[in-house]
């Protein structure tokens, strides 16, 4: 049974956890993911175009970022760069790292989607006199983004949970807010379950939006 004291702590802490989620976790996710999509599209298009030097640079970026832990990347940017005179506040540092990290993963998703578009689409565009960039922008990329929508949506949902790592560089998001309440109340089990349920709530909303988007894209494609 939950004691009155514990129930009071959970009720009082709910808003103290949810508000940082709405004002820090969600903005961090949205901003980082938006920047990551720009990075991912550029990186994928560079690889798809096959320009040798740029392609190798893109592959190197993807290789390094996907091969190192996200937490290590956060520490390098926030705690390591000050050693060479580069000071970045916690929130911008988290945005930079999450954007670069997610950009590498999403770049591979979009690259695969670009390659899944039939080559005949390129040839059809050339036959009507379109330039390469016009074919990519008007024909290939829209189709590729539709193909990539489900895995990219999954990446967005995963990023909501990954933002909890930002607590390690003093970003006051939901998980750090919970840690502070735990330190004051000594109720780790109940409070960590509570914050887990709030993350679950956020991800459930995104999952519903993902399904709506997939249905609409499916209807549009049909």
SS3 letters across 142-201: HHHHHHHHHHHHHHHHHHHHHHHHHHHHCCCCHHHHHHHHHHHHCCHHHHHHHHHHHHHH
Q: What is the tens place of the pLDDT at every residue in 17-27?
A: 999 999 999 99
Q: What is the tens place of the pLDDT at every residue in 81-116?
A: 999 999 999 999 999 999 999 999 999 999 999 999
CATH topology of domain 4-221: MetI-like fold (1.10.3720)
Query: b or e along 8-28 (b: 16 or more beta carbons within 10 Å of the residue's beta carbon)?
Result: ebbeebeeebbebbeebbbeb
Question: Residues 3, 5, 6, 7: what is their CA dihedral angle, to the nearest 10 degrees?
Answer: 80
Give percent of the chain above pLDDT 70.
Answer: 98
Whether the CA torsion 207, 210, 216, 222 is positive or negative: it is negative
Farthest-apart Cα atoms in the chain, separation:
74
Q: What is the tens place of the pLDDT at every residue in 180-208?
A: 999 999 999 999 999 999 999 999 999 99
Long-range contacts at 111-117 (CB < 8 A, ≥ 24 apart): 111/43, 111/44, 111/47, 111/48, 112/148, 113/44, 113/144, 113/145, 113/147, 113/148, 114/44, 114/45, 114/48, 114/140, 114/141, 114/144, 115/48, 116/144, 116/147, 117/143, 117/144, 117/147
Name the one residue in this structure whose structure tokens are 């990329």: 141
In Å, what is the CA distance from 17 to each residue of 35, 140, 186?
26, 43, 16
Task: Measure the CA–CA gap between 218 and 163, rounded to whole angstroms.
Answer: 31
pLDDT confidence of residue 109: 96
Number of residues in the chain: 222
SS3 assignment, position 117: coil
What's the rounded mean pLDDT across residues 118-133? Answer: 84
């Amino acid at each position: 049974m939950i004691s009155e004291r514990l129930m009071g702590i959970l009720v009082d802490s709910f808003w103290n956890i949810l508000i940082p989620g709405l004002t820090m976790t969600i903005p961090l996710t949205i901003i980082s993911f938006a920047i990551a999509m720009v990075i991912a599209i550029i990186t994928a298009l560079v690889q798809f175009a096959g320009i040798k030097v740029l392609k190798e640079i893109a592959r190197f970026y993807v290789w390094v970022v996907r091969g190192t832990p996200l937490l290590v990347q956060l520490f390098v940017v926030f705690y390591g760069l000050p050693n060479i005179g580069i000071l970045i506040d916690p929130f911008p540092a988290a945005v930079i790292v999450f954007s670069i990290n997610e950009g590498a993963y999403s770049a591979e998703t979009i690259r695969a989607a670009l390659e899944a578009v039939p080559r005949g689409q390129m040839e059809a565009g050339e036959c009507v006199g379109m330039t390469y960039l016009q074919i990519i922008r008007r024909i290939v990329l829209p189709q590729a983004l539709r193909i990539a929508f489900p895995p990219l949506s999954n990446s967005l949902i995963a990023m909501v949970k990954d933002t909890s790592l930002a607590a390690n560089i003093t970003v006051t998001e939901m998980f750090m807010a919970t840690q502070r309440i735990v330190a004051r109340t000594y109720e780790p089990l109940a409070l960590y379950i509570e914050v887990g349920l709030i993350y679950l709530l956020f991800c459930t909303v995104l999952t519903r939006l993902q399904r709506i988007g997939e249905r609409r894209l499916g209807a549009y494609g049909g």
